[in-house]
Amino acid sequence: MDKFIIAGNGPLEGVIDASGAKNAALPILCASLLSDEPLHVTNVPKLWDINTTRKLLSQMGCTVDEPAAHEMIVDARPITTCVAPYELVRTMRASILVLGPLVARRGEAHVSLPGGCAIGARPVDLHLMGLEAMGAEITLDGGFIHAKARRLKGARIVFDTVTVTGTENLMMAATLADGETVLENAAREPEVVDLARCLRAMGAKIEGDGTTTIRVQGVGALHAAKHSVLPDRIETGSYLVAGAATRGRVRVNRTDPAMLDAVLVKLQQAGAKISTGPDFIEVDMHGKRPSSVNIHTMPHPGFPTDMQAQMMALNCLAEGVGVIKETIFENRFMHAQELLRLGADIRIEGNTAVITGRERLQAAPIMATDLRASASLVIAALAADGETFIDRIYHMDRGYEDIEGKLAALGARIKRVARLI
Ligand SMILES: CC(=O)N[C@H]1[C@@H](OP(=O)(O)OP(=O)(O)OC[C@H]2O[C@@H](n3ccc(=O)[nH]c3=O)[C@H](O)[C@@H]2O)O[C@H](CO)[C@@H](O)[C@@H]1O
Ligand SMILES: C=C(OP(=O)(O)O)C(=O)O
């Protein structure tokens, strides 16, 4: 297990490129299961979760080629099994995204209940409710979901909670169902829209993605297609917050400012000057200490829960008191305990964190507990005095491509070392 050693330094300054979005690439790779013709995906980020998905598809019998860096061609024609085993699925939430495509295309799926970041109970009842409404027979046994259907039928499905992967799973399943499926209270995240774009390129008939009502007319088969994954808004946002927390100036190229409205508003409130162009965002603190901001996490287009931990790190260093309310996941404050070890002043009351900013934080040994918690700790360590050791950084490798390279390009002093014990 690797560790990071981060020496607190002055302002981060420089320019980096955003990678492709993990949370768009994963469902898109799973969409390859809907067709017997190859899906060519470009701008695929180099991440552990992508490796896990490649292994998952390969062990099902799909051929997965990597013709160039950041490209994958998945051909699901030679598929031999519809089983997604525990060993692979336990590490990654997005593995549940093979369920809808397998039932729709192959008539059956046997998928271990998924893992991912331990940020809450994360049930999949809405995925199963939707597939049942479409005529699938579902049983749960030995930690596995077993689903069967001769051919799924279109249905009207109303989500009582907005679910991103639930919307994606059912949207994929509906592409091959008999008749029309309507998803109400659907997730509007940009990654859902990117998946819909890819599915349309494969021949699916989908309307309304990006709104709360998605309509899908089932078709007989999907065909070969090529799709480029959209930029990672959470990766982009994490580097911008790192720039602001260290009182620096950071520009992220090859990104899309429109996806980050809610985060940019908060960075502006924190005192950053924000400049944007069609494909870049720059945050400039002009050397000033940020001001505290209040945050309430919400489904898109609200403030993303995946940026909550990073903004908590910023509040730890800001002037004033900031209140963060986490409304999506019931256990997503695990970074707070580690930030306290760096000298932060955080009080947690239920789903609310009250953070009183400190002028300085001090280095200490700390431990990453999940993906975005890791990003939060890295940001705090970059702004702390002394050398911080961050353990369990494998969480970070799930979702941030070349983190050391990108941070070093911004002037950070970060080193990866193998943990000996
Ligand atoms: C791989 C991926 O894209 N992961 C993202 C996805 O996770 P994921 O899709 O797992 O998150 P959901 O949008 O499904 O979860 C939202 C809320 O709905 C609840 N829920 C969800 C499904 C269900 O069947 N029943 C149920 O009660 C969850 O427990 C949670 O409280 O969206 C989250 C919310 O933006 C992000 O933090 C994750 O980074
Ligand atoms: C929570 C996340 O990932 P996952 O849903 O894969 O656990 C995330 O990307 O922040």
For residue 118, pLDDT over 60 is answered with yes
User: Which of the listed residues 95, 122, 333 should we mutate to test ligand 1's pocket, taking the one with most ligand atoms within 8 A of CB?
Assistant: 122
23 is in an annotated binding site: yes
pLDDT value for 191: 98
Quick one: average pLDDT of 391-409? Answer: 94
Tokens found for residue 220? 């007989």
pLDDT of residue 398: 93
Kindly report the protein residue whose alpha carbon is nearest to atom 22 of ligand 1.
124
pLDDT (average), residues 374-397: 95
- pTM: predicted TM-score of the whole model, two decimal places: 0.97
Residue 291 has pLDDT above 70, yes or no: yes
Residue 279 labeled ligand binder: no
Q: Separation of 26 CA from ligand 2 center, angstroms?
A: 11
Q: Is the CB of 126 under 6 A from ligand 1?
A: yes
pLDDT tens digit sequence for 189-236: 999 999 999 999 999 999 999 999 999 999 999 999 999 999 999 999
Q: Domains of the chain, with CATH numbers?
A: 2-19+232-418 (3.65.10.10), 22-218 (3.65.10.10)
Residue 126 among known ligand-binding residues: yes
Is 316 among the residues known to form the active site? no
**22, 89, 93: which to mutate for ligand 2, most atoms within 8 A of CB?**
93
117 lines ligand 2 (CB under 6 A): yes
Query: How many whole angstroms from 116 Cα to the centroid of ligand 2?
Result: 6
Q: For 142-170, what is each residue's pLDDT tens digit?
A: 889 999 999 999 999 999 999 999 999 99
Assess whether pLDDT exceeds 90 at residue 121. Answer: no
Does 122 count as an annotated binding residue? yes
Ligand 1 nearest atom to the CA of residue 94, by list position:
1
Indicate whether 9 pLDDT > 90: no
Question: Which pLDDT band, with edges at 50, 70 and 90, does 92 fall under?
Answer: confident
